[in-house]
Amino acid sequence: MNKTIRMITALLVLAFTASAEEQTKPIKSISQPEIIEAALGGNLAVVEKSLAQGYKPDTPDSEGRTILMYAAFNGQTNIVERLIAAGANVNAQDKTGSTALMFAASGPFASTVQLLLDHGAKINTVDTNEHWSALMWAAAEGQTKVVELLLKNGADPSLKEADGDTAESFAAKNGHSAVVKILQAAAPKIPDSKPSEE
C-alpha cells in the first residue's frame, strides 16, 4: 500500500470515527424557559423541536402555566394550533385558575380566541383568584372585536367577579365606551312591569 492510499485510508477512518461519535453524542434538550420564550415569540421551529424531543405540551411551569397559555397570551395562533394538534389541553388552568382563552382574550387576538373556542375552550370559566372571565379580560382591555366574538359564542355578560364588577363595569371604568355599548346591547332585556288592571 503506497503512502497516498494509506493517507486516504487514515482520513476515512478518522471521518467515520468522528461521524460515529457525533451520532452517539446526546442531543441537548431544549429547556422549559427556552420553550416558553419560543412560544411567546412565535418561534415554531423551537416548539417543533421540543415536541420532537418528547416535551409534553401540558407540562406546567412554577406558576402552573403551560406553553399553550404563553402562546395564547401573545396571539401566536400558529403555535397554539400546533400545540393543540400535539394534544395540549385548552382548558388547563394555572395556579390562579386562568386559562389560555383568558390570556388570549386580554389582547387583540380574535383569531387565537376563535381557534381555542373551536377546540372546546370553555367560554365562561372564571379564575379562582378574582373570578374573572375571558369576557371581563377582553372588556377591561378594550378589545372590541374579541368582546363581540366572545358574545357571539355564548359568553355571559352578567357574570360578576369577586367585588361584584361585570365586564361592562370594567369597560366603563377603563374608558372603553364602544365596548360598553356592545355589552349593553347584549345584556338580557328585562320586560317592563305593568300594573295589573283591575
pLDDT tens per residue across span 122-175: 999 999 999 999 999 999 999 999 999 999 999 999 999 999 999 999 999 999
Q: Which of 50-54, 129-133, 143-147, 191-195 has the lowest mean pLDDT?
A: 191-195
Residues 6+ apart with CB under 8 A from 129: 96, 97, 98, 162
Averaged pLDDT for residues 2-18:
49
pLDDT over 50 at 20, yes or no:
no
DSSP, res 191:
P
- Res 13: pLDDT: 46
The SS3 assignment for 6 reads helix
Give the C-alpha separation, 58 to 32, whole Å: 12
Portion of the chain with pLDDT greater than 70, in percent: 81
- Res 192: pLDDT: 54
From residue 108, alpha-carbon distances to 72, 149, 194 in Å are 11, 11, 43
Do residues 58 and 66 make contact, with C-beta atoms less than 8 angstroms apart?
yes
Give the C-alpha separation, 74 to 108, whole Å: 9
- Res 187: pLDDT: 82
pLDDT over 60 at 7, yes or no:
no
Residue ranges and CATH numbers for the domains of the chain are: 28-122 (1.25.40.20), 124-187 (1.25.40.20)
